Structure 1
Amino acid sequence: MTVSWTLFLVGVLLLLLGVYCSWTAGRLDRLHHRVATARASLETELTRRSALVSELAGSGVLDPASSLLLLDAAHRARTANSDERERSESALTRAIGVTGTDVEPWAAELGTAMRRVQLARRFHNDIVVSTRELRRRRFVTWFRLAGHAPMPSTIELEDGS
């Protein structure tokens, strides 16, 4: 009788362990998907900001030196590879801050674009931090519940915040 109860308890514990592993692996999968979605959203906002800056620089409302500075920074940000992307986006933010981009019809649009980049970056980094915290738990590493997914990384760039 005691052997059957012991086997029953071991079976229940294994079942609970399996359910917990399955739930945690599903949660990790959802977090990784959210990281990818947030990354894509950030990339979209950075591209929109770069396009807006290029349009502003070509509009003729700024002096030629400011226009060239903004066009160059926007072009570098748009064409940068993944290793240089953060540095070139930060340079674009600095160029926006240095030039007189407070021209009336453009100031509100550019301010909105800058805020959207800030929010997208913060949202991305918050999700990355949550994912990394879950992946660092002993239980997750012991049972390799993250699979072969790469560890996500935060994006550190000057975004005017």
Structure 2
Amino acid sequence: MEWVFITIAVLAALGVYLSWTAGRLDRRHARLDASRAVLDAEFLRRSGSVLDLATAGLLDPATSVVLADAASRARTADDSDRYQAESDLTAVLVAALDDPDDLAPLREDPGAAAALDELAMSCRRAAHARRFHNELVRGATRLRRKALVRWLRLAGYAPMPETVELDDRVPHGLETAS
């Protein structure tokens, strides 16, 4: 009779553990969806800041056209090409705005300095959002790789989350922005 109570207690403890783990996994997936939305919003903010700078008439025409083109491509890219377009935008930003000495005359104009500061902030926010999202992905992946989670399919049919890998450096010329 004693073994019946022990069996019931073990099964109850296992049920509580599995329920807690499934809830934890569900919360992780909800946080992943939210962080993906924030990441996409930060990328849109960054490309918007680039477009604002490019169309403000503060830069030479060739640089403005290249920046506007890269920002437009990043905004309109489909999901399969989105992160490559974002990396390309970063490459264009680094090529155009990497030298602080080239941006020194712009910093003297309050309007241009505000545009550069806004772009620098949006670049930093996008980089932080990507790092935060990738940390959440790594945590969810670790949880999903546990044996009980896999055997009992506690993740259901949710796709395995993937990290976002792209170049999101802040150009050196913008790092001096406050």
- Identify whether the pair has TM-score above 0.5, normalized to the shorter chain: yes
Aligned length: 158
Choose from 144, 153, 166 the match for 1:144.
153
Correspondence for 1:40: 37
Is residue 169 of structure 2 the alignment partner of residue 160 of structure 1?
yes
Among candidates 41, 50, 53, match of residue 53 of structure 1:
50
> Aligned letter for 2:124?
R
Matched, 1:132 2:141: yes
Gaps of 5+ in 2: 108-112, 171-178
In the other structure, the counterpart of 1:122 is 131
Deviation of residue 108 (structure 1)?
Answer: 1.5
Shift of 1:7: 1.1
Superposed CA deviations along residues 59-118 of structure 1, whole A, max 9, x for unmatched, are 111111101111110010000011100100000011111113733222221111111011
Q: Alignment RMSD, CA only?
A: 1.1
What is the TM-score when the length of structure 1 is the normalising length?
A: 0.95
Runs of 4+ in 1 over 2 A off after TM superposition: 100-104
**Within the alignment, does 1:73 sit opposite 2:70 as a pair?**
yes
TM-score, length-normalised on structure 2? 0.86
Match of 1:11 in 2: 8
Paired residue secondary structure (2:78): coil
Within 2, Cα distance between the matches of 1:100 and 1:58?
15
SS state at 2:41 partner: helix
* Cα displacement (A) at 1:156: 0.4
2: CA distance, partners of 1:26 / 1:44? 27
- The residue aligned with 1:94 is 91
Identical aligned residues as a percent: 47
